[in-house]
Structure 1
Amino acid sequence: MLLIEDDDGDAFLVEELLKQAMAPPRISRARSLREARRKLTATVQCVLVDLNLPDASHLEALEEVLAVAPPHAAVLVLTGVSDAHVGVTAVQSGAQDYLVKGEVDARLLARSIRYAMERKRADLAQRKLVQVELTAKENRRLESALLPGPLLRTTSIEHVTRYLPGSGGTLAGDFFDTVQTPDGAVHLVIGDVCGHGPDEAALGVALRIAWRTLVLAGQTGDTLLRTLDALLRAERKAPEIFTTLCTATITADLSHARMRVVGHPPPVLVRAEGVEVVDGTPSGPPLGIFPDAEWRVIDVPLGEKWTMMLYTDGLIEAAVGEPSGSLGVDGLVDLVREHGTIDLDRLITHVGTLSDDLAVVMVRRRST
């Protein structure tokens, strides 16, 4: 406990009263605000401050203490009998309680300090709860914009998605979307803005909405990627931020796909021939790296029976084994082969501890 009191007699009285407590606190004393600033360290749990000090008076003294005290420290004020009304104002300004000199005994002083500390803990817990609730609401809002429902008319495709936040519990910039255009083609995208936090998530939202808008407007080739690249450069907070993504356009007869793997992990395919990753990846570098980048189209025959999985690197970077290693693309393919099919829930259960966000889109041609 830090006692900020310039009067030796008043300070002696407080110290003597506290010695009678069942668990006497360790007390340090400061005679001025200047001295108190040096002593208000993280170890201080409670501050008892006189509102009439040599270098500050009344609420000025309290405001200074509240500004420099540790966030967890309870603050009580000492007032004179004639300034009792100031104590009420002090509580309204942020103090946990006030005590009037000459009207305090050992029991009242100890109880006031104990209650003030409990109120401070309750206030901090309430603020933390409110912050958690606000963060959860923001995450839900961003998640709905990053991970929308598909725009599909066909019933010939099974479409399944999964998203899990990383170890920090907050959203990053992973996003996905699926749109079927009037010609019957099905377009998919999955992307990952580097970094974590609300700025990256907001950038992911912008890119996802831009992708859907361009696809609905009939722009699905190089123009789409160049536009997304320009948008990323215009909206990012720092020049080192880049985005990886994978796009796929499945023909209306569901037998063929045209893909662009833009610095992104390659999709996994399950066909009659077995389990494999898309051959010939990547198509080119991530968005935001080279201003004149080009991205090669990868043609993939799908056949009559197939399953395709697009995912972000959180899936293959999951911690597995001892010492901790990552799953990797080969490990992911091995898991799919072991299961015999792509079962997202079972797959995610087996991948290990996530260090990054995980987003997955699986599309499967239904048997006719």
Structure 2
Amino acid sequence: MRVFSSAKTSDNSERVVLERVSAVAEALPRLPRADCVLLDLQLPDAVGLDGLARILAEAPTIAVVVLTGRQDDTAGIAAVGAGAQDYLAKDQVDGQLLLRALRYAWERGRAEQFEQRLLQHQLLMRENARLERGLLPSPLIEDPRLGLTVRYRPGRDGTLLGGDFYDAIEVPDGSVRLIIGDVSGHGPDEAALGVALRIAWRSVVLAGMPMSDVLDLVEKLLLVEAIQPLFATVCALTVAPDRRSLRMTLAGHPPPLLLDSPDGPRLLSENLGPPLGVTPGIERHELHVPLGRQWSLLLYTDGIFEGRTPDGRRHTGPERMHDIATRLLPERRDRDETLDRLIRTMDALHGGPLDDDIALALLTCDPAGERR
């Protein structure tokens, strides 16, 4: 039995290093540094396909070429079916054929590994997309005057969902409830808690709970479900049935940006209370905001502005994000493209994709929608 590895020499030619062993047990410790194995099916400690099975159990991705007896195609085909890359008859092997077979087996093994990783990645992406569609909400708004455009992007590679969450529901009296929030920390526990808080909020809103009680119940769930001390920032608001005013509660969350208001763009930043989970049971205050006939309201989580500039010296900051949003939002009627441009611009200021989770919700009111 022979174990091969290869390397490039100084003149860029290929150098093959051969280690000869007489038993599978001697080969197993050498497999991590090997590229290919030439395996005799008749060894002192392994007969037939037993040696192949032991080698592949120890090194599943290694290329193996088996040596069979004279004209024994049946054993060779069985070995290939069991995971070998190729087989050779002992009485038909010469130096060139052997080297070509080993090189072919090695390259074929590498190609199969790449295809397997690609397939696994594609399957994971499709599965993640299906799961994310199930976990992210479907806003329930029927009023043709209102438009809701959302964007959600986890901030860590390979993550399905982050700790940010949002939801929106039009209730029977015609008012619209909307929430956006951010669970402190990063990881699967925080993501799961964010989903739980969103579902809890939707459940109590659909049950007809008054706005003053909803956040208290959501906070109680946070305290029960969090497996470690965590808090969540939240912006919750109710738009009146006539769409000319809203009531809002902030719990440690960045204030939304109101556009097209009678007083021009402004932040709704009064009565900022502590995050959920910090001071349970505290009385929370509502801010009443009058609205014009046509308006846009941007809600967001802090991931959109907490990226650092490429030199790493300072955060981009909310003021810069507000200036960019104020310029972009009124100039485009394509709200999807507007939010995408906002994210791309903030990514560029960061010098690459932002590190943190991002959730954006753009709620617009256009009276012309009633006539469409």
Fold shared by both chains (TM-score > 0.5): yes
AA in 2 matched with 1:311: Y
Of the three residues 232, 235, 238, the one matched with 1:249 is 238
Indicate how the Cα distance of structure 1 residues 360 and 281 shifts in structure 2: closer, same or farther if over 3 A, else same: farther
Q: Classify the secondary structure of the residue corresponding to 1:296.
A: coil
| Aligned counterpart for 1:333 among listed residues 316, 322, 329 | 322
**Residues 1:56 and 1:192: Cα distance change in structure 2 (over 3 Å):** farther
* Structure 1, 199-208 or 84-93: larger mean CA deviation: 199-208
Return closer, same or farther for 1:296/1:51 CA change in 2, 3 Å cut-off.
farther
Describe the SS at the equivalent of 1:25.
strand
Query: Deviations along 1:331-365, whole A, 9 cap, x unmatched?
Result: 22232345474842332231123223322101123
Q: Does 1:359 align with 2:354?
A: no
Quote the residue 2:334 is aligned against: none
Give a deviation string over 1:62-114, Cα, whole Å, max 9, x none: 2332233274x322233444976444333222222233333322233222222
Q: Deviations for 1:155-186, whole angstroms, at most 9, x for unmatched residues?
A: 23232222345462643234322110011111
Give the match for residue 296 of structure 1: 284
1:92 to 65, 81, 85: 81
Structure 1 counterpart of 2:18: 27
Distance (whole Å) between structure 2 residues aligned to residue 243 and residue 29 of structure 1: 63
* Matches of 1:246 and 1:89, distance apart in 2: 65
Q: 8 Å contact 1:275–1:336 — kept in the other structure?
A: no
Query: Aligned partners of 1:350, 1:290: CA distance in 2, in Å?
Result: 33
Number of the residue aligned with 2:256 = 267
- The answer to whether residue 8 in structure 2 is matched with residue 39 in structure 1 is no
- 1:135 equivalent to 2:130? Answer no
The residue that corresponds to 1:69 in the other structure is 59
Could you tell me which residue of structure 1 aligns to residue 157 of structure 2? 168
Q: Which moved more, 1:59-68 or 1:46-55?
A: 46-55
For structure 2, list consecutive stretches of 5 or more residues without a partner in the other structure: 7-12, 332-337
What CA distance in whole angstroms lies between the structure 2 residues aligned with 1:127 and 1:201?
29
Q: Which amino acid aligns with 2:291?
A: G
C-alpha contact 1:314 1:355 (8 A) present in aligned 2: yes
Instruction: Determine if the alignment matches structure 1 residue 217 to structure 2 residue 212.
Output: no
Give TM-score scaled by structure 1 length. 0.77
Q: Matched residues in 2 for 1:233 and 1:156: separation?
A: 38
Name the SS for the 1:130 alignment partner: helix
For structure 1, list consecutive stretches of 5 or more residues without a partner in the other structure. Answer: 5-10, 16-21
The separation in 1 between residues aligned to 2:43 and 2:281, in whole angstroms, is 67
1:95-110 matches, cutoff 5 A: 95-110=84-99
Matches within 5 A, 1:102-251: 102-166=91-155, 168=157, 170-173=159-162, 174-193=164-183, 194-196=185-187, 204-221=194-211, 223-229=213-219, 231=221, 238-239=227-228, 243-251=232-240
Question: Deviation per CA, 1:270-304, whole angstroms, max 9, x where unpaired?
Answer: 33334343324653334xx5694546233141332
Please point out which of 43, 59, 77 is paired with 2:49.
Answer: 59
State the alpha-carbon separation in 2 of the partners of residues 266 and 335 from structure 1: 16
Q: How far did residue 52 of structure 1 move?
A: 4.1
User: Which of 341, 344, 349 is the matching residue for 1:346?
Assistant: 341
Provide closer, same or farther for how the CA distance between residues 186 and 76 of structure 1 changes in structure 2, counting only shifts above 3 A: same
Alpha carbons of structure 1 residues 129 and 259: separation in structure 2 relative to 1, 3 Å: same
Range that drifts further, 310-319 or 336-345: 336-345
Q: Secondary structure at the match of 2:142?
A: coil
Instruction: Return the letter of the residue paired with 1:348.
Output: I
RMSD: 3.5
| 1:3 corresponds to | 2
Q: Distance in 1 between matches of 2:280 and 2:306?
A: 30
Residue 48 of structure 1 corresponds to: 38
2:29 and 2:130 map into 1 onto residues whose CA distance is 44
Give the direction of change, closer, same or farther, for the CA distance of 1:47–1:314 in structure 2 (3 Å limit).
Answer: farther
After superposition, the Cα gap between the structure-2 partners of 1:85 and 1:171, relative to the gap in structure 1 and judged at 3 Å, is same
Match for 2:209: what amino acid?
Q
The count of aligned residue pairs is 346
Percent of aligned pairs sharing the same letter: 40
SS in 2 for 1:155: coil
SS in 2 for 1:176: strand
Aligned-partner SS, 1:351: helix
Q: State the TM-score, normalizing by the size of structure 2.
A: 0.77
